[in-house]
Amino acid sequence: QVNLVESGGGLVQPGGSLRLTCAASGSISSRVSMGWYRQAPGQEREFVATIISGGTTSYIDSVKGRFSIATENDKNTIYLQMNSLKPDDTAVYYCYLQTFAYRHWGQGTQVTVSS
């Protein structure tokens, strides 16, 4: 069983920064990638960023240049550094871990960007 725990969400003013953390534990095998999705009220869940086991990263266009995804040396913890936050970034952010067989999800952490 794989467990993902997110932290770091909260309320921030426009232009501010937050760093999200996702720590994975349990029986992790054949990890392909880890990353983040987000879901705003009334919207579908959308991809935000991913880091593949080889270190390659990818981002949705709307966060390029503002968000940065990184991993710890053990590669079971990832971070999402979010700068220059906008009200449109308000959403529940979900961490995922992709293996060859399954995509595991965390419970989500709320990010609210508001003045």
Return the pLDDT at 13.
Answer: 98
Does residue 61 contact residue 77 with C-beta atoms inside 8 Å?
A: no
Does residue 53 contact residue 33 with C-beta atoms inside 8 Å?
A: yes
Give strand pairing partners of 34: 51, 97
Return the pLDDT at 61.
Answer: 97
Return the pLDDT at 28.
Answer: 81
Return the pLDDT at 27.
Answer: 82
Return the pLDDT at 68.
Answer: 98
Average pLDDT of adjacent 10-residue blocks, the chain of 115 residues: 94 98 88 94 96 92 97 85 98 95 95 97
